[in-house]
Structure 1
């Protein structure tokens, strides 16, 4: 027996510090002469808002603009999200989000509210084929210079520029666009979460290197391959597949929790439905039920998903099963006499011997009716393998799905051909099913036509669960010559939101599932606060009177509530109620988690009324108090009557 020995040495603090830094900044782990090391130049960059120069040679992914990309990710933003109730469905109750705006700014805004709360991220970013667009993030220029430089003149402040193959920084510009977004996205994942990134061969090698840099090479799960069917193009080889690259937030967490990704076999719903019909009609006549089930399988078309399970064609009192191999694995197993239950003669023994060396154990299986015998002793018995025990399987790394099918289904759903090359919602549904369950949050910050939202609703409807989605999409303008524009869609977001509405209606009609079919729409905008709130040094006493109220005049109470929730680190999906307290409108967020009142004339009587509910947090406008005395008194009353309440003002 081995006995653990005392270490008899002090802790290796340097190694402990290395592990802590590696956990916080996996992109700063590099290779040195003696193995793993910390890239201190890059670590300095992570801790600075300015570009830090460094020239040490090392093994890593490098490109012109990488340091600027890190700065871009780390710079704070003063923007906010404004609710758009008129575009939303069941705004006050739904936990799904649709956010319009530049995903870089949105990811920054979500850092506190969703830090470590996202189970899965799926994105389908620009592939950088030379024909699509990339975001141009130039943090060194002000907003107006950025607009002029990139030729944008619309109200959405879009930041998309063409990236042709002839560009001098073709790959670098794409990497600089992707890096800060992926870096911010990693922070949002749960410890057992994972990210899936669609790409093709154009940037696949660099994407893998970049994800190694951000997530750590040891957290690579693998490349999933979507075989979408043969393409007739002019290349030397017809590339008929795409990749979905997967990295875990922390593979060690998955191992510690013994988490194994599983996938429900396709076509089981139809099999179980047939079984229920047979059971209702034939009761316990298992022989007839088995015969009928075999005939049902035989009549299915070759492409039907249920036909892959045609070997599950026997029925007994426990359910559907197939007669599985009962022999010893590898051969050389024990051979002993077993009697047939009807003929009472010794049955034919498997050539490799029985799967158990204990005859009593096998006899117990026989007594429990878990062994399938042939019509007589001349056939080798089998062990019953029940479908209910094998509903799930380890996911395969290859998906076979005709790339044209998704376009056809979307065309039917939308009653028009409004989006080029949409991702297949059935493929995404399989990926979501692999690692998520009820109440998990899935984020897609290159939402496009909202394929991922569609797939999540479909999976929820099938499984009667409530996974939640967050969709983020820049409202890219649609070509005025396109069919989508002529149908009334002015930007991609309008297509995405309408697709969710239509998909939700269709799924509800087909499944009648009691799930969340709604979504809250938010739109990225400048802060609700006047500029003096952030840049008081730019104003003198003469014009400060213009800002008696530090909130912009066009902003509503809904706008302010969203910014307060983000600043306080509360998820935007929390249930919101509006109630009247002493004649003033009060927002109640998640019962008593947050109370917010942005009306004027807040006084002591209001404070006494609000404390009866003992909210955990309460917020007012700084200019909303009746007077300075009332402001002091309200704070004191809250301390006395509801000491657990945290009060803040904006």
Structure 2
């Protein structure tokens, strides 16, 4: 393999460029080359030629069509595809069990986070659950650049989080009340779809305010054919007489799959459902339940299912009259020979029932109404948080039971689950608790913007400055609670078998921040002596090796939960990522001597990465290609 010390992009992927390349792979003749302002040549599409290639399929102008649109939709589509020069900075001190955990908590704007995860977690997530703002007029909406112009922005801004992300209250008096909400959510859903596995599924909580727009939006992004169900969840168990009109006791869960191959998990059977089976004729195959032999359609509509049947006990012959039979004559004979027809307790019924044996039936299919007994309610969610954190510091959080039901219907024991409106991290707690029940190894990625808690709020009075801080503390305490409970159970059952394992209750914290690289790394178009000297060290002064390492992982499409170890070679720090598979070795020290480079090459990693400042001079930088080509020809080498 040829060695190329190419620069890693060190930014989120440009999805527009990817789409152009996909079109060009099908229609290379529509390629045009465009000269950019920085003097670079990039690929573009000649849409006139593309129209000619698709003659008969292109819709021109404003012909009547069914479509869903709003003010700002085009800009929200552009926003979804636009790359960001940002990174995820690891925060080991705020994490729990950093070395061993596979769980991720990202603090920052979820639009940036989703863009940064595009390569590392493409087609990797089994289930997404989100509880976005419901657009009630009182909740805060993420302020993306396409939502309002600068004058409106200065007038309407109400909330700034601790890292400068701005949010605004989308009041019902705003002219673009629905449009702003759609523009906020659309690009996030579009990016989230890319992360789902082909057999993946997304659940979105919503209420009456925006369910009509959300349904249309998800039809467009995921496809109408991938709509699975609109679940009604009974969030309250009783009415409130404080309301003037109807009391709202339900919310919704819109559920879409990425592909029709998704099927929900069947539920375990219950004593109540199994109690409907009995064995009145002492059949050796066990309990059974009778299914009707009558077809709901008439003989005129099902002529092939009309034939005389004979009761073998009485020799009575019966013809179909009002209804046709449910099974064909051949099937009737086979069922009779297999003793699967029941002619009543006295054996004299003119029409039999078909035995359906309990041992042969499958589990229960999920339904589209979830009562509060089945999936919890908001009061339960509030009590859970109070018990963990000692105060009512968040209004109406979702209950753990609701998320556990979602997991039960959609995930296997090793699923990766994403929640990018994670709030108090109830999804993370539910995953840890579910793993404690069945010894599963489900993992999570939580994303929450560090929205500031109001100074007069109970959260602020309990020393929580942001919603993200509440979520992290909830995960810490919930994990310790789960651990203590399992340890207590193990202590009481030492004589009955092996101890129950403690699930992964840790999490790695990352924060969205500006790129680690100086601006000149990306867009230097004019060189002066000052900028040339700046190229010698292209990393911002406040960034660490760990910051660089995890930006490299994102740029290379590696996951954030991979094992990380270090070793020292001749005073130089060597980072190993996923050492079991030798996935990556990095060294960001300055002036690495050739002898150390050779030792790294002899380790034969799949990937190796250094920084510009790692080399004494240009010849040293060029020499690395020769070293790896000779000693480890299959290693891909990059420089940042």
Normalised by the length of structure 2, the TM-score is 0.76
Deviation, structure 1 residue 422 = 0.6
Q: Take 1:87 and 1:323, find their aligned partners in 2: how far apart are those partners?
A: 57
Asked if 1:102 corresponds to 2:109, the answer is: yes
For residue 563 of structure 1, the aligned residue among 532, 547, 551 is 551
Asked if 1:228 corresponds to 2:235, the answer is: yes
* Other-structure match for 1:450: 425
Q: How does 1:87-236 map to 2 (within 5 A)?
A: 87-138=94-145, 150=157, 155-229=162-236, 230-232=238-240, 233-236=242-245
SS at match of 1:134: strand
Deviation, structure 1 residue 413 = 2.2
* Other-structure match for 1:395: 366
Pick which of 163-172 and 627-636 moved more. 627-636
Asked if 1:422 corresponds to 2:401, the answer is: no
Contact 1:602–1:630, Cα closer than 8 Å, also in 2: no
Q: How does 1:511-522 map to 2 (within 5 A)?
A: 511=486, 512-522=500-510
Pick which of 603-612 and 508-517 moved more. 508-517
Deviations 1:146-174 (A, max 9, x none): 78973666541222101100001100110
The verdict on how the C-alpha distance between 1:85 and 1:385 changes in structure 2, with shifts beyond 3 A counting, is: farther
* Other-structure match for 1:587: 575
* Other-structure match for 2:90: 83
Deviations 1:74-100 (A, max 9, x none): 111001000011111221222211000
Deviation, structure 1 residue 390 = 5.5
Q: Take 1:66 and 1:454, find their aligned partners in 2: how far apart are those partners?
A: 35
Q: Take 1:217 and 1:71, find their aligned partners in 2: how far apart are those partners?
A: 23
The verdict on how the C-alpha distance between 1:102 and 1:148 changes in structure 2, with shifts beyond 3 A counting, is: farther
Q: Take 1:83 and 1:496, find their aligned partners in 2: how far apart are those partners?
A: 17
Deviation, structure 1 residue 124 = 0.5
Q: Take 1:91 and 1:390, find their aligned partners in 2: how far apart are those partners?
A: 45
Gaps in structure 2 of 5+ consecutive residues: 1-22, 28-55, 280-284, 297-307, 315-325, 487-499
Q: Take 1:145 and 1:551, find their aligned partners in 2: how far apart are those partners?
A: 36
* Other-structure match for 1:433: 408
Contact 2:104–2:510, Cα closer than 8 Å, also in 1: yes
Deviations 1:537-557 (A, max 9, x none): 376433543453100111111
Deviation, structure 1 residue 611 = 2.4
Q: Take 1:498 and 1:107, find their aligned partners in 2: how far apart are those partners?
A: 23
Query: Between Structure 1 and Structure 2, how many residues are aligned?
Result: 543
Contact 2:422–2:446, Cα closer than 8 Å, also in 1: yes
* Other-structure match for 2:257: 248
Contact 1:333–1:357, Cα closer than 8 Å, also in 2: no
Deviation, structure 1 residue 405 = 1.4
Gaps in structure 1 of 5+ consecutive residues: 1-13, 19-35, 41-53, 269-305, 315-319, 339-351
Deviation, structure 1 residue 216 = 1.9
* Other-structure match for 1:302: none
Q: Take 1:579 and 1:542, find their aligned partners in 2: how far apart are those partners?
A: 36
Q: Take 1:550 and 1:614, find their aligned partners in 2: how far apart are those partners?
A: 27
* Other-structure match for 1:640: 630
The verdict on how the C-alpha distance between 1:97 and 1:142 changes in structure 2, with shifts beyond 3 A counting, is: farther
SS at match of 1:263: coil
* Other-structure match for 1:22: none
* Other-structure match for 1:500: 475
* Other-structure match for 1:63: 70
For residue 613 of structure 2, the aligned residue among 619, 623, 626 is 623
Asked if 1:263 corresponds to 2:263, the answer is: no
Q: Take 1:623 and 1:396, find their aligned partners in 2: how far apart are those partners?
A: 60
The verdict on how the C-alpha distance between 1:359 and 1:184 changes in structure 2, with shifts beyond 3 A counting, is: closer
Relative contact order: is structure 1 or structure 2 higher (C-alpha 8 Å, sep ≥ 6)?
2
Deviation, structure 1 residue 580 = 2.7
Deviation, structure 1 residue 195 = 1.5
The verdict on how the C-alpha distance between 1:37 and 1:453 changes in structure 2, with shifts beyond 3 A counting, is: farther
Deviations 1:4-50 (A, max 9, x none): xxxxxxxxxx9x989xxxxxxxxxxxxxxxxx96567xxxxxxxxxx
Deviation, structure 1 residue 391 = 7.0
Q: Take 1:381 and 1:186, find their aligned partners in 2: how far apart are those partners?
A: 47
* Other-structure match for 1:31: none
For residue 73 of structure 1, the aligned residue among 77, 80, 88 is 80
The verdict on how the C-alpha distance between 1:334 and 1:403 changes in structure 2, with shifts beyond 3 A counting, is: farther
Deviation, structure 1 residue 68 = 1.1
Contact 2:415–2:443, Cα closer than 8 Å, also in 1: yes
Normalised by the length of structure 1, the TM-score is 0.74
For residue 599 of structure 2, the aligned residue among 591, 602, 609 is 609
Q: Take 2:193 and 2:629, find their aligned partners in 1: how far apart are those partners?
A: 39
* Other-structure match for 2:517: 529
SS at match of 2:386: helix
Contact 2:453–2:467, Cα closer than 8 Å, also in 1: yes
SS at match of 2:212: helix
* Other-structure match for 2:37: none
SS at match of 2:614: coil
